[in-house]
Amino acid sequence: MSGPDPVELSTNPFDDDKLHEECGVFGVFGNPDATALTALGLHALQHRGQEAAGVVSFDGQQFHTERHIGLVGDHFTKASVIERLPGDKAIGHTRYSTTGAPVLRNVQPLFAEFAAGGFAVAHNGNITNALTLQRMLQKRGSIFQSTSDTETLIHLTATSDRGHLVERFVDALRQLEGAYAIVALSEKKMIGCRDPLGVRPLVLGDLDGAYVLSSETCALDIIGARFVRDIEPGEMVIITEEGGLESIRPFIEQKPRFCIFEYVYFSRPDSIVEGTNVYSVRKSIGAELARESGMPADLVIPVPDSGTPAAIGYAQEAGIPFELGIIRNHYVGRTFIEPSDHIRHLGVKLKHNANRKMLEGKRVVLVDDSIVRGTTSLKIVQMVREAGAGEVHMRIASPPTMNSCFYGVDTPEKSKLLASRMSIEEMADYIKVDSLAFLTIDGLYRAVGETKRNAEQPQFCDACFTGDYPTRLTDRSNNTTVRQLSLLAEAG
Ligand SMILES: O=P(O)(O)OC[C@H]1O[C@H](OP(=O)(O)OP(=O)(O)O)[C@H](O)[C@@H]1O
Ligand SMILES: NC(=O)CC[C@H](N)C(=O)O
Ligand code: SF4
Ligand SMILES: [Mg+2]
């Protein structure tokens, strides 16, 4: 086999350089418990970003902010913290960094003091011309406080020659390329906006007359808010003190390209995304997978957590019993200290463990949603074999992930993606399975309700599978790279 250089592939179960979710944004306008509600909303959006979290509130006189490295639950549960963030308006953010290091100064919401007053911005997505714009703004005199792509938006708003805040903000957004779902807060307004392609999700809710904006509906559920509707691609909603909501469409209209990976992996299965329940879509994906590449077996076993709904769909369609053959420990955090080689060897079982009784002598189909670097598949297959499984067939509920995301998902560089380095046969050899199959791209489109992928005008962003990026990647073409923060010392 003319195999790839295995040195660059990680088999380290503690290696965290894989596909991470993105960011979560949330906001409440006009409720006396705005900060407590925002903290709860962020807790429900924790799966979208686990590096850092922040909240900005406004009490009618002043803005207040707390931003921390770490989980929402580490910093936003104490009454004393909530009391430090008074007001009936608040916005918040959970972060996985895509541009700019995971340090405190890049943690959102970002806040700026404009001539017209304070302004806070929380952003999910990634701006693909941010670094090019940053260089231009710096030449014009802008003094950046962070290396986050989101700060570019603040400077463009501040330096716009338009009149009111909303016009300046629109003027700034029009200069951005890439993906953004944004929740912003001024003294008098909360603004929600999705980029013209609507790559990232954003929904509107209502809590006893107070407007709520959230990345996903699961965060409306946690506070008992009613789901009103999606913010549409290219739509901006401006929520004002008088209780009104104005909707404008400030961008040139384009065909939407929602991120199809939200259905595969990112969104929580209990969320309604673009009108569809994510859990149902994942089950349909599993059923498609069974139709495309089913095979005789005794058991269908999910790779927990996110492979579970697809495995249920696969098992139901194939008529094969579904069993939990791998158990996941839910207390494994990202911050687990990298151990010594000796302990690392034991660490294979840190997150997952085989349920030996179920597996002994069985022909099993393992279902996972995706293979990124192959770390998970490699260790799971080994574990299932050691537990006595007779045959191990791996089925992946998405096409091979061959390209990096530039729209808000923290993906490893292309060269570290297993599928960009190996054919399916080579991957099967590498993870040591009896057979390996991925869902086809048309199968994925069918599962989300389309007849097939429209190659001329794809209905979704699927660039990590196809390489067909829906926007320009200016920073990448210009070879512009993110600079280090010059001053790094700061308290977390
Ligand atoms: O090929 P790899 O680089 O190992 O990455 C792929 C794995 O990563 C994700 O799961 P993850 O462990 O992040 O979390 P989950 O428990 O939500 O499924 C995904 O569901 C795959 O299982
Ligand atoms: N994952 C995201 O959506 C990140 C938002 C923003 N690009 C940041 O790096 O902070
Ligand atoms: S490249 Fe992949 S993960 Fe990124 S927005 Fe497109 S479909 Fe989603
Ligand atoms: Mg997984």
pLDDT interval class at 19 (50, 70, 90): low
Tens-digit pLDDT profile for residues 85-95? 999 999 999 99
Residue 13 has a pLDDT of 37
Structural domain includes residue 7: no
Does 246 share its domain with 333?
no
In which domain, by residue range, is 286 found? 280-457
- Cα 134 to the center of its chain, rounded Å: 24
- Whether residue 23 lies in the annotated active site: yes
The answer for residues whose C-beta is within 8 angstroms of residue 168's C-beta and 6 or more apart is 157, 158, 160, 162
Domain finish residue from 257, 291, 321: 257
Locate the ligand 3 atom nearest the alpha carbon of residue 260 and give its number: 7
Structural domain includes residue 467: no
Structural domain includes residue 376: yes
Structural domain includes residue 488: no
Does 225 share its domain with 295?
no
Tens-digit pLDDT profile for residues 269-318? 999 999 999 999 999 999 999 999 999 999 999 999 899 999 999 999 99
What average pLDDT does range 407-413 have in this prediction?
Answer: 88
Ligand 2 atom 10 nearest Cα = 97
Residue 433 has a pLDDT of 98
Q: Which amino acid is at 323?
A: E
Statement: residue 450 has pLDDT above 70: yes
How many of the other CB atoms lie within 10 Å of CB of 331? Answer: 8
Does 299 share its domain with 246?
no
Structural domain includes residue 365: yes
Does 245 share its domain with 285?
no
Structural domain includes residue 178: yes
Residue 482 has a pLDDT of 65
Which residues contact ligand 2 via a Cβ below 6 A? 22-23, 95-100, 106, 108, 123-126, 148-150, 408
Distance 257 CA to ligand 2 centre (A): 19
Does 287 share its domain with 252?
no
Query: By the 8 A CB rule, do 248 and 191 touch?
Result: no
Residue 329 has a pLDDT of 85
Structural domain includes residue 474: no
Tens-digit pLDDT profile for residues 369-387? 999 989 889 999 999 999 9
pLDDT interval class at 484 (50, 70, 90): low
Using alpha carbons, list the distances in angstroms from residue 304 to 46, 286, 352.
18, 14, 8
Average pLDDT, the chain: 91
- Cα 72 to the center of its chain, rounded Å: 16
Distance CA 53, CA 26 (A): 11
Does 239 share its domain with 363?
no
* Ligand 1 pocket, residue 268 CB under 6 Å: no
* Ligand 1 pocket, residue 431 CB under 6 Å: no
Q: What percent of the chain has pLDDT over 90?
A: 82
Ligand 3 atom 4 nearest Cα = 405
Does 292 share its domain with 252?
no
What average pLDDT does range 461-483 have in this prediction?
Answer: 90
* Ligand 3 pocket, residue 19 CB under 6 Å: no
Does 247 share its domain with 288?
no
3-class state of residue 374 by DSSP = coil
Does 306 share its domain with 347?
yes
**Picking from 226-240, 320-334, 395-409, which range would have the lowest pLDDT averaged per residue?**
320-334
pLDDT interval class at 448 (50, 70, 90): very high
pLDDT interval class at 6 (50, 70, 90): very low
Here the CATH number for the domain that contains residue 224 is: 3.60.20.10
Statement: residue 367 has pLDDT above 90: yes
Does 185 share its domain with 306?
no
Distance 54 CA to ligand 2 centre (A): 13
Does 241 share its domain with 315?
no
**Picking from 17-21, 144-148, 175-179, which range would have the lowest pLDDT averaged per residue?**
17-21
Query: Is the pLDDT higher at 129 or at 243?
Result: 129
Here the CATH number for the domain that contains residue 395 is: 3.40.50.2020
Structural domain includes residue 466: no
Mutating to test ligand 2, I would choose from 97, 151, 259, 405 the residue with most ligand atoms within 8 A of its C-beta, which is: 97
Does 237 share its domain with 359?
no
pTM score over 0.90: yes
Query: Is the pLDDT higher at 340 or at 158?
Result: 158
Statement: residue 14 has pLDDT above 70: no
* Ligand 3 pocket, residue 260 CB under 6 Å: yes
The total number of structural domains in the chain stands at 2
